[in-house]
Structure 1
Amino acid sequence: MSKPSRRDTDELATSRIRRGAQLGGLAAKETLRRVTLKAGAAVITESRHEQLLDRANQRLARDFVAVLGSMRGAAMKVGQLLSVMDLGIVDPDARESFRKHLARLQGSVDAMPFDRMRPVIEADLGAPVEDLFATFDTHAFAAASIGQVYRATTRDGRAVAVKVQYPGVRAAVRADLKNLALFLRMQKSLVPTIAATEFIEEVTAELSQELDYRTELANQLAVARRFRGHPFAHIPAVLPELSAGSVLTTEYIEGRSAAEVADLPADERDRVGEMIYRFYYGSLFRDCAFNGDAHPGNFLYRPDGRVSFLDFGLYKRMDPAAVDFERRAWLLGIAGDGDGLRDIMEAYGVLRPGSTVSGQDCLRYTLDAAGWNFVDDYVAVRPIDVSAALLGVINPAAESFRTMRAERLPPEHLFSRRLDFLMFGTLGQIGAGGNWRRIAAEWLDGAPPSTELGRAEADWLAQPRER
């Protein structure tokens, strides 16, 4: 058999079988490693065994990043979600190394060669790259789940970031979504809440939106208009004349990454964390819409003290009635009113007719999933706390899961739960804390702002503007 060419190895795997086999092969490879290590444990010292296990875990992390990074598409989002959590899937001594490897998926993976990306730009924008831009750095500086990003300058001298879709990625994402649907249906006996047909359809519809950058351009324009003049949240400008279905050109932003923010003094980390919290949750409760990709690769902390938020491909708009349900559930959770929670869950259709779930069960489930929002004190959430909350929702061994497993959370609320886990995973990664309950009280029940940032935002909200 001939050796695959460079072009062959650069191609995105687009068939369901090939893409599913990559993850399956990785799982088999890791299982073999661990069986081998266990078999050898009787004849090597415990310390030596731990060293080997750590090495195996680090190899797993590298392999996991390589597989998910090369797959890109919807599969890469799995790695982005895992990268902000500590799921306990590796030994404690190796978890930090594992997380750091996964963190590459937040904004950078191995770049596809530019000679593969150039035709996408030129076909979409209708001219040679050299005619479209004054300068264009052909080395990608960042990668998203379905494309990679280049620095350039426009003919009138503006510094821009040009996001270009990977060739073949649309077929790849469709394959990922079919594999996801198959996986969830196979797991229906264990995870009935997320395996429902309507949830699969919701995920497919939302992720499919990302495949057309014109949708992302429209989202970003709308959010930039909404946040114009905001005291701390900045949305990069978009350039429609240099954008199309597979190319999106935006203002280039200089700023600190999440990893760099994590090295700042505690008070500065807390300030950045509050800006992130206010942007995502404030958008949900005030505007009934939010950016669904709240992972650490999608913000930059600017030298002027503001935070720039990036990537509006997965932008979720919720029915005001759904947001009002979330608001009431939060307030009842804060009040510790389990019976009240049960009443609104039953009325909203979360509990099936005749459900035996108690008010205390509903309260425990809500606190397990997002209890950090309900504590009237300074709370610094760690990645391990976020993973514990997630596992309480999806792990069949968890008491909360066993209680609620037969109930049904309407599909669109799964995206707001994803927002919870991603955002608090991000806050945990940068080491930020705050009194989240006091901040949230501003949009939950109209409480006056409790922080300097809150007062600045209230002044901005009081100004007349286009809505």
Structure 2
Amino acid sequence: MRPDRSVSAARLPDRPPQRSALRRATQIAMALTGFLLWVAWHRGLMRCDTHRAAERFAQVLQRLGTTFVKLGQHLSLRADVLPPDAQRALASLQAHVAPFSSEQAVQEVEAALGRPWQEVFARFDMQALAAASIAQIHRAALPDGTEVVVKIRRPGAAEQAETDMRILRRLVLTIQWFVPSLRRWGLAAIVDEVAANFRYEMDLSREASSVRRFADAWRDSPDIVLPDVVDGLCTSTVMVQQFSRGAHLHGLPPAMGAAAAGKLVDSYIVQIFRDGFFHGDPHPGNVFVMDDGRICLHDFGIVGRVDRSMRRALVAFALAFVEQDADWVVDAWLDLGLVGEGTDRAVFVPVVRTLVADCAEHPLKDWSLSDALAQLVAAGRTQDVRLPRDLLVLTRTLLLLEGTVRLLAPDFSIIEAISRHTATGIFDERKSAASQRLPYELGNAANALPTLLARRLHSVLRQRELLQLSIKPDVRMLSGIDRLGRRIALALVTLGLYIASSLLMQHAVGPRWGDMPVLALLGYALAIRLTFFIARSRG
């Protein structure tokens, strides 16, 4: 049944006006100030625990709306800033938002695509299929009958987020000015990072690029399917994507759930450890099981990237964790480059040994890579730990993946899957029955050796030290070295004259002779005279 097309012809209401920045700043300042006063009162007089304060903070963020809910979700991953009970309290935050009206949805689509929706779609369902804090989804059909979904950014969401982040940053800077001890937590940097994440998630054209990249990479996969975007129908506010139909993860038969868990984990091992580009939001609502058993992934608003060096360190960390080699775990953690130069390795050793001992007392299915990463980050709170965005996304991804896998198959072990892949070549082609570390490190050394030799040879050739001979100096050699030093110094002065004269010529500084700056001409003349002098004095 086709919807009433009169919707697009009628005059649509303007998007709701944004609240004034001053009013919003007052609301945010009063809410955060009230929370700080509550903490000061209850911690100072009533000695309330950290968990209760975190729950109160979560309530404040929930009342402040979507932007602050996202801030709380981000903070829930910051083991370098918050203790575990506070992280758990903030992790429960969810943005509860109602869908915006069909009139606004149509208005956004037509504004983004530059034409009436009837010229783009044969059908457009006015009732939203799903709604979230940033966008909502509508089903539709293209003129050729292709079923699609239309993702539409919530009107005013980007502007509201930018306003909230600017206000929050000013408040944080003001608070840090009054309480300088808070600067060590890097609160302003956290606000900047959340703001950058918001901008990324708000830009649906970036999400469309990510979808296309994943769809191309997995197009021929027998286990994973990703609905591709439709060319020419993606902008920063609207994204049109092929519709896929599948079963939700809740209530799957055990055999189907176990098979789905295996395919999902295998795909993430490839994404993270081989490709270095991964889907960052694998919660159960974004994962479907198709009729043919393939796994379908949705919502690429959050993606993570891991560069080659960090990927090698993560591979080493995963292998070390699989083998429960405490020393190797610490070395791999330090190789990630998240801590400062003066890091005390001894800080992490007892944490890892406790972690290894705790894992030994539990079955493999209960081992958690995300928990291991979080514990090491927490141990480094006093060691200048620096957490890049992509590592935070990775930690969140692993946490969500573990939860989704437990929903699909409670007895499935991600660690066993990683162990299985050590023999497939995803991590390294060499293996040892006794230990993976030696072949892994040798493989890394073999891969890095040509680059290291090339750099060393380049450095040697630049310094003309290919052959270093021990020669006993005499008077003539010392005199020659002295003359060479003077010529080099004079050559540097000459080069400086050429550069300075060129700058004077470009900016026409000083008196002029015709169209030429006099100072530049004098500089060139002196530089040329010195060049001839250097050339004649080579002997």
* Band of TM-score, shorter chain: 0.5 to 0.7
> For the aligned residues, what is the CA RMSD?
4.7
Amino acid at match of 1:360: V
- Residue of 128, 144, 149 corresponding to 1:156: 144
- Residue of 418, 432, 441 corresponding to 1:440: 418
Work out whether 1:18 is the aligned partner of 2:18: no
> What residue number does 2:391 align with?
413
Q: How far 1:167 sits from its partner (Å)? A: 1.4
Q: Secondary structure of 2:150's partner?
A: strand
C-alpha separation in 2, matches of 1:144 and 1:445: 41
**Which residues in structure 2 correspond to 1:141-180 (within 5 Å)?**
141-178=129-166
1:101-132 Cα shifts (integer Å, max 9, x gaps): x77x5xx8410112222221111101112222
Q: Secondary structure of 1:434's partner?
A: coil
Q: How far 1:222 sits from its partner (Å)? A: 1.0
- Verify the 8 A CA contact 2:131 2:137 in the aligned structure 1: yes
Q: How far 1:343 sits from its partner (Å)? A: 3.5
Q: 1:322 to 1:19 in 2, by over 3 A?
A: farther
> What residue number does 2:218 align with?
227
Q: Secondary structure of 2:392's partner?
A: helix
Q: 1:372 to 1:244 in 2, by over 3 A?
A: farther
Work out whether 1:110 is the aligned partner of 2:88: no
Q: How far 1:230 sits from its partner (Å)? A: 1.0
C-alpha separation in 2, matches of 1:392 and 1:124: 45
Work out whether 1:138 is the aligned partner of 2:126: yes
Q: 1:426 to 1:341 in 2, by over 3 A?
A: same
Work out whether 1:274 is the aligned partner of 2:272: no
1:346-398 Cα shifts (integer Å, max 9, x gaps): 45533333333425235258769xx98998734498xxx98x779857xxxxx
- Verify the 8 A CA contact 1:238 1:251 in the aligned structure 2: yes
> What residue number does 1:40 align with?
none
Q: How far 1:333 sits from its partner (Å)? A: 2.5
- Verify the 8 A CA contact 1:427 1:433 in the aligned structure 2: no
**Which residues in structure 2 correspond to 1:323-362 (within 5 Å)?**
323-358=311-346, 359-361=348-350
Report the count of equivalent residues: 389
- Verify the 8 A CA contact 1:255 1:300 in the aligned structure 2: yes
Q: How far 1:210 sits from its partner (Å)? A: 2.3
- Verify the 8 A CA contact 1:293 1:422 in the aligned structure 2: yes
Q: How far 1:423 sits from its partner (Å)? A: 2.1
> What residue number does 1:304 align with?
292
- Verify the 8 A CA contact 1:114 1:139 in the aligned structure 2: yes
C-alpha separation in 2, matches of 1:172 and 1:403: 35
C-alpha separation in 2, matches of 1:221 and 1:205: 22
Amino acid at match of 1:243: C
Work out whether 1:75 is the aligned partner of 2:76: no
> What residue number does 1:463 align with?
none
C-alpha separation in 1, matches of 2:280 and 2:32: 28
- Verify the 8 A CA contact 2:172 2:187 in the aligned structure 1: yes
- Verify the 8 A CA contact 1:357 1:404 in the aligned structure 2: no
- Verify the 8 A CA contact 1:291 1:312 in the aligned structure 2: yes
Q: Secondary structure of 1:242's partner?
A: strand
1:387-419 Cα shifts (integer Å, max 9, x gaps): x779857xxxxxx73554433144132221121
Q: Secondary structure of 2:202's partner?
A: coil
Q: TM-score, normalised by structure 2?
A: 0.59
> What residue number does 1:241 align with?
232
- Verify the 8 A CA contact 1:334 1:374 in the aligned structure 2: no
Q: How far 1:244 sits from its partner (Å)? A: 1.7
Q: Pick which of 305-314 and 276-285 moved more.
A: 276-285
Work out whether 1:208 is the aligned partner of 2:199: yes
Amino acid at match of 2:399: F
C-alpha separation in 2, matches of 1:138 and 1:19: 35
Amino acid at match of 1:249: V
C-alpha separation in 2, matches of 1:202 and 1:170: 15
User: Structure 2 regions of 5+ residues with no counterpart?
Assistant: 1-12, 42-54, 77-83, 428-539
> What residue number does 1:4 align with?
none
Q: Pick which of 174-183 and 236-245 moved more.
A: 174-183
Q: 1:132 to 1:301 in 2, by over 3 A?
A: same
**Which residues in structure 2 correspond to 1:314-393 (within 5 Å)?**
314-358=302-346, 359-361=348-350, 363=352, 377-379=364-366, 392=375
C-alpha separation in 2, matches of 1:364 and 1:24: 45
Q: 1:286 to 1:355 in 2, by over 3 A?
A: closer
Higher Cα Rg: structure 1 or 2? 2
Q: Secondary structure of 1:210's partner?
A: helix
C-alpha separation in 1, matches of 2:33 and 2:15: 21
Q: How far 1:277 sits from its partner (Å)? A: 2.3
1:72-109 Cα shifts (integer Å, max 9, x gaps): 45735856998xxxx878x9xxx9xx97xx77x5xx84
Q: How far 1:217 sits from its partner (Å)? A: 1.2
Q: 1:349 to 1:88 in 2, by over 3 A?
A: closer
Q: 1:152 to 1:180 in 2, by over 3 A?
A: same
- Verify the 8 A CA contact 1:373 1:436 in the aligned structure 2: no
> What residue number does 2:454 align with?
none
Q: How far 1:298 sits from its partner (Å)? A: 1.6
Q: 1:113 to 1:403 in 2, by over 3 A?
A: same
- Verify the 8 A CA contact 2:153 2:238 in the aligned structure 1: yes
Q: 1:270 to 1:428 in 2, by over 3 A?
A: same
